[in-house]
C-alpha cells in the first residue's frame, strides 16, 4: 500500500453525481445507434431500447446497493476487492479502466469527425490528429486543475448536450405515429442477442459516478439515488428519440446521421446544426466524465497497493491524482491516433460487462460482511435482482466474437502481470 492517505477534496453533490452519470451514459451511442436499431429491428426498435434499459437497470440497482456501503474512491474496485480479495478488485478496476480508456479514445476521434460537419479538414488527416491532441490536452489541464473546475465543465456540457436532444424529443412528439409501436412486425430472433449487445453501448457508463465516492459530500446517500434516477430519465429520452426518428424518417436504417436527419424534418433548416452541435457537446461531456472518473481507478489501486505508488501521487495545490490523469490522457491519445472507432467501442462494452459481473457477484458477500449505512439502499426481492443481472451480463457477453474475447483476455493477462510486479515491489519495500 502507498503512503498516501485519502486526500482528495469532497466537493461533489448528488446533483454532481447525476451529471457525471448522465455524461457517462449519453455520449456517441445515441447519435448513431437509432439507425442501427432500425436496420436490425424496424418499428420494434423503440421497444428494443426499452428492453435494454430494463436489462441495464438490474445492474444499476445492484451497483446502487453496493455503493451505499462505501465512501472511498474506486467503485467496482472496492466492491470486488472487499468481497473476493485484492486480485479480484484489481482486475475489476483494470477491466473497467480499459473499457473507459478505449471508449474515450473512440469517442474523441468521433467527436472531431462530427465537428468536421462545420469544417471539412477536421474529418481526417493532420488537422484531425492535431484536433484530437488539442482536446486531450484541454481535458487533462481542466481535470488536473481541481474537481470543482471539472464539475463546472460537467454541468455546462450537460446542459449543452441535453437542450438539442430534448428539443428534438419534445417538438418531435407532434410527428409521432403511435401505430408504429403496435405494427412492429415479427422480429428476427436469430440476431437478437447481438443487437442488444450493440445497443447496450448507449447505456453503459453510469458506473463512472461510483468511482468518485471519495470526493463526495455524502457518497452512501447521494450516489445510489443519482444512478437510479438518472438512468430512468435517460431511458425516457432514448425511447422518445427513437419513436420520433422512426416516425419522421422512413429510411432511418440507411441514415449515417440519424438524429441530424430527423432534426431537419422536425426543426427545419437549423435542425442539423443544432443536433450536430449537440453531438459534439454530448461526446465532449462523455469524454470529460471519463477523464474525471477513470484516473481515480488507478489512483485507488495505487492506494490499495495493487498498482505502482506513482499512480497515487496527489497534486498538492489542486488535490487531484495528477499522475493518473496524465497517464490516462497519454495512453488514450495513443489509442485514438491508432485505433478504429468500432474496435475500441466493442472492447469497451465487453470489458465493462465483465466488470459488472464481478461487481454484482460481490454484492451478497458485501451484505454479509459490511455494516449498512444509515442511508442504506435496499433492493426488493432479496437475491432476485442480482441473480437476473448476473445471468443477463453473462448471456450478453457470449455474443462477443472470439477476436473481441481474445483482445479482452490479453488485457486481463497484461493486468495480471502488472498486479504481480506491483505487489512484489510493495512486499520488498515492506521487508
Instruction: Specify whether the CB–CB gap between 239 and 49 falls below 8 A.
Output: yes
What are the Cα distances from residue 239, in Å, to 34, 51, 57, 258, 300?
Answer: 10, 10, 15, 14, 36
Q: At what angle do helices 125-144 and 271-293 cross, to 10 degrees?
A: 50
How far apart CA 101 and CA 303 sit, in angstroms, is: 20
Class of domain 14-397: mainly alpha
Beta strand residue intervals within 307-371, DSSP E: none
How far apart CA 219 and CA 13 sit, in angstroms, is: 8
Exposure of 206 by Cβ count < 10 A (0-12 exposed, 13-18 middle, 19+ buried)? buried
Instruction: Specify whether the CB–CB gap between 105 and 339 falls below 8 A.
Output: yes
Query: What sign has the CA pseudo-torsion 356, 375, 69, 297?
Result: positive
Instruction: Specify whether the CB–CB gap between 219 and 213 falls below 8 A.
Output: yes
Q: At what angle do helices 14-25 and 219-248 cross, to 10 degrees?
A: 40
SS3 of 1, please? coil
Q: What is the pLDDT of residue 244?
A: 93
pLDDT in single tens digits along all 431 residues of the chain:
344 444 566 767 778 888 778 877 887 678 778 888 888 888 888 999 999 999 999 999 999 999 888 888 778 888 998 999 888 888 888 888 888 888 888 788 878 877 887 788 888 888 988 999 999 999 888 888 876 777 777 788 778 878 888 889 999 999 988 888 776 666 665 677 778 877 887 888 788 788 778 777 788 888 888 888 889 999 999 999 999 999 999 888 888 778 888 888 998 878 778 888 888 888 887 788 788 878 887 887 887 777 888 888 888 887 888 899 999 999 889 888 876 666 676 677 788 888 899 999 999 999 888 877 777 788 888 789 999 999 988 988 888 778 878 888 888 888 888 888 777 655 444 43
User: ∠ CA 411-347-219 to the nearest 5 degrees?
Assistant: 85
Write down the domain spans for the chain.
Answer: 14-397
Cell numbers 456501503 correspond to what residue?
69
How many residues are there in the chain? 431
Q: What is the pLDDT of residue 92?
A: 86
How many other CB atoms sit within 10 Å of the CB of residue 181? Answer: 16
Amino acid at each position: 500500500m502507498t503512503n498516501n492517505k485519502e486526500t482528495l477534496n469532497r466537493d461533489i453533490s448528488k446533483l454532481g453525481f447525476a451529471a457525471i452519470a448522465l455524461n457517462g451514459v449519453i455520449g456517441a451511442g445515441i447519435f448513431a445507434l437509432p439507425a442501427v436499431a432500425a436496420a436490425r429491428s424496424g418499428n420494434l426498435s423503440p421497444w428494443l431500447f426499452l428492453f435494454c434499459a430494463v436489462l441495464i437497470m438490474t445492474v444499476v440497482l445492484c451497483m446502487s446497493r453496493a455503493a451505499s456501503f462505501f465512501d472511498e474512491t474506486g467503485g467496482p474496485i472496492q466492491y470486488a476487492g472487499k468481497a473476493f480479495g485484492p486480485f479480484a478488485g484489481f482486475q475489476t478496476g483494470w477491466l473497467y479502466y480499459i473499457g473507459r480508456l478505449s471508449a474515450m479514445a473512440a469517442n474523441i476521434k468521433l467527436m472531431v469527425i462530427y465537428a468536421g460537419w462545420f469544417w471539412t479538414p477536421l474529418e481526417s488527416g493532420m488537422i484531425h490528429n492535431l484536433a484530437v491532441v488539442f482536446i486531450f490536452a484541454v481535458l487533462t489541464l481542466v481535470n488536473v486543475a481541481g474537481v470543482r473546475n471539472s464539475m463546472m465543465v460537467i454541468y455546462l456540457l450537460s446542459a449543452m448536450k441535453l437542450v438539442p436532444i430534448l428539443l428534438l424529443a419534445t417538438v418531435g412528439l407532434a410527428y409521432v405515429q403511435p401505430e408504429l409501436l403496435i405494427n412492429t412486425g415479427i422480429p428476427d430472433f436469430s440476431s437478437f442477442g447481438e443487437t442488444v449487445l450493440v445497443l447496450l453501448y448507449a447505456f453503459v457508463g453510469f458506473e463512472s459516478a461510483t468511482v468518485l465516492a471519495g470526493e463526495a459530500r455524502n457518497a452512501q446517500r447521494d450516489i445510489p439515488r443519482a444512478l437510479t434516477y438518472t438512468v430512468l430519465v435517460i431511458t425516457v429520452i432514448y425511447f422518445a428519440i427513437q419513436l420520433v426518428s422512426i416516425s419522421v424518417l422512413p429510411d432511418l436504417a440507411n441514415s449515417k446521421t440519424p438524429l441530424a436527419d430527423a432534426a431537419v424534418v422536425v426543426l427545419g433548416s437549423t435542425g442539423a446544426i443544432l443536433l450536430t452541435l449537440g453531438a459534439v457537446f454530448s461526446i465532449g461531456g462523455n469524454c470529460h466524465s471519463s477523464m474525471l472518473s477513470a484516473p481515480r481507478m488507478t489512483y485507488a489501486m495505487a492506494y490499495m497497493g495493487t498498482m505502482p505508488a506513482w499512480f497515487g501521487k496527489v497534486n498538492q495545490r489542486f488535490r487531484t491524482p495528477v499522475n493518473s490523469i496524465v497517464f490516462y490522457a497519454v495512453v488514450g491519445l495513443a489509442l485514438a491516433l491508432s485505433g478504429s472507432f468500432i474496435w475500441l467501442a466493442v472492447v469497451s462494452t465487453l470489458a465493462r460487462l465483465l466488470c459488472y459481473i464481478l461487481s454484482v457477484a460481490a454484492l451478497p458477500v458485501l451484505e454479509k460482511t459490511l455494516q449498512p449505512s444509515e442511508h442504506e439502499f435496499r433492493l426488493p426481492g432479496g437475491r432476485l435482482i442480482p441473480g437476473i443481472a448476473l445471468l443477463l451480463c453473462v448471456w450478453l457477453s457470449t455474443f462477443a466474437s472470439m477476436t473481441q474475447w481474445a483482445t479482452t483476455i490479453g488485457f486481463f493477462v497484461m493486468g495480471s502481470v502488472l498486479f504481480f510486479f506491483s505487489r512484489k515491489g510493495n512486499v520488498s519495500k515492506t521487508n
